[in-house]
Amino acid sequence: HRSKAEQIRQAGLDLQTADSLAREETNLPDAIRYYNDALSKLSKKEDAPYFADAETGLALCYLKQAQKNNDQQAAQQAVDGLNEVVGLLTSLYGKNPKSAERVKLSRLFNAQGESLSVLSEIKEKVPYLEHCIDLYTEALKTSLGQRDPELSATIQMNLGFSYMRLAEEKDRLINSNLALAADQEALKHFTPRDYPLQ
């Protein structure tokens, strides 16, 4: 028991270091190393919440790399890691996740969509964009809407972007209208005064 507790403590320290490093783009390789160190000390079954946190952090680092460099391998690593975490947390939370758990799942679905969006720029556009749209729609269903307006608006913005890119490939009018509707929803929260960049 003592050695297991020490392992979890060490993994926790690795996670804290990795989370801190992941904030800076230049430190991503070091953050990835620390997330992998944490994962090597954790059991997916016995330490599921910690394992999910480490796997999520690692996947988000890969996503940042993919977005910066249009990197197919990093995007696929992000997708694979996020798929694993969603599966793990879905089984852990059950059918009726609590508010904080729903927000976590919503963020994961959104990140999965962002990862597939990078892949859609490198591989076949249409199937990847359609999958992105499914994931953003699932993220919106899982999110808490008005109780987390910034997250909901971010997902709506990503959804609108995916529909707009899909409109370039097929069903131009339908997908453009869907993009417009999603962006109008995002603008209900992303007001010029409060969120000028968005």
* Each residue's pLDDT tens digit, 99-128: 889 999 999 999 999 999 999 988 889 999
Q: Cα 191 to chain center, whole Å? A: 24
| pLDDT for the residue 145 | 66
Average pLDDT for residues 84-108, to the nearest whole number? 91
Please state, in angstroms and rounded to a whole number, the distance separating the CA atoms of residues 94 and 182. 29
Average pLDDT for residues 58-84, to the nearest whole number? 93
Please tell me whether residue 165 adopts helix, strand or coil conformation.
helix
Average pLDDT for residues 5-29, to the nearest whole number? 91
Region label for 171, one of left (φ > 0), alpha (ψ between -120 and 50) or beta (otherwise): left
0.85 exceeded by pTM: yes
Please state, in angstroms and rounded to a whole number, the distance separating the CA atoms of residues 10 and 34. 11
Buried (b) or exposed (e) across 86-96, using 16+ Cβ within 10 A?
A: bebbeeeeeee
Pair 134, 163: CB distance under 8 Å:
no
pLDDT confidence bin for 164, thresholds 50/70/90: very high
